[in-house]
């Protein structure tokens, strides 16, 4: 299988990220690349990639149009825009997950998602399959939270093990 790469968190503030994408597209055109920003990170990513200097409010109000714009410029990546309804954008289209609960809006949940996606890439899943499956697994695991507003990353992983 081809190389797999998941980028999350502070990578979306890295000044050279556009050059990184272009280098991967040139040197590893079949690389399986998944990006998992939340709206603030996506705002920075759009700016760094010269796709526009938008506010978080603009991004929140037009998530679908902004992810389409990003995917049109970087079609070799799969974008997972985390949020109340996580949006996954890739060459084949857009997927929206409504499975997640508010308990996922907690530090560490994104790390768990990145880990799920990495594990799926390591098993040979395509970037699209890994992103969709990882987001769905995380959302379904969150349904087992004792409270809809609190679930530790460890509890999220334990819940996912029961799926």
1: pLDDT strictly greater than 70:
no
* Four-point Cα dihedral 34, 65, 70, 96, nearest 10: 10
Query: In this structure, are residues 80 and 135 in contact, taking their beta carbons and an 8 Å threshold?
Result: yes
Instruction: Output the pTM of the full model.
Output: 0.94
- For residue 53, the 8-state DSSP code is -
User: What are the structural domains of the chain?
Assistant: 4-161 (3.40.1190.20)
Write the pLDDT tens digit of every residue in 30-41: 889 999 999 999
Mean pLDDT of the chain: 93
Residues for the chain: how many in total?
A: 163
Q: Which of 123, 125, 63 is nearest to 95 (CA)?
A: 63
Q: What are the helix (H) ranges across the chain? A: 17-27, 39-48, 56-61, 63-73, 109-122, 127-142, 153-161
Average pLDDT over residues 137-157: 89
């Amino acid at each position: 299988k081809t190389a797999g790469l998941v980028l999350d968190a502070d990578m979306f503030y890295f000044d050279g990220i556009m050059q990184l994408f272009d280098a991967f597209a040139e040197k590893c055109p079949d690389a399986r690349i998944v990006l998992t920003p939340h709206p603030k990170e996506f705002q920075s990513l759009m700016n760094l990639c010269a796709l526009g200097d938008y506010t978080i409010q603009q991004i929140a109000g037009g998530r679908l149009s902004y992810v389409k714009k990003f995917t049109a410029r970087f079609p070799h990546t799969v974008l997972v825009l985390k949020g109340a309804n996580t949006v996954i954008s890739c060459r084949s289209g857009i997927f929206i997950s409504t499975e997640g609960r508010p308990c996922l809006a907690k530090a560490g949940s994104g790390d768990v998602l990145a880990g799920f996606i990495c594990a799926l890439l390591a098993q040979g899943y395509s970037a699209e399959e890994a992103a969709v499956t990882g987001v769905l697994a995380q959302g379904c695991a969150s349904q087992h939270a004792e409270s809809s507003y609190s679930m530790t990353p460890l509890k999220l992983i334990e819940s996912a093990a029961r799926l």
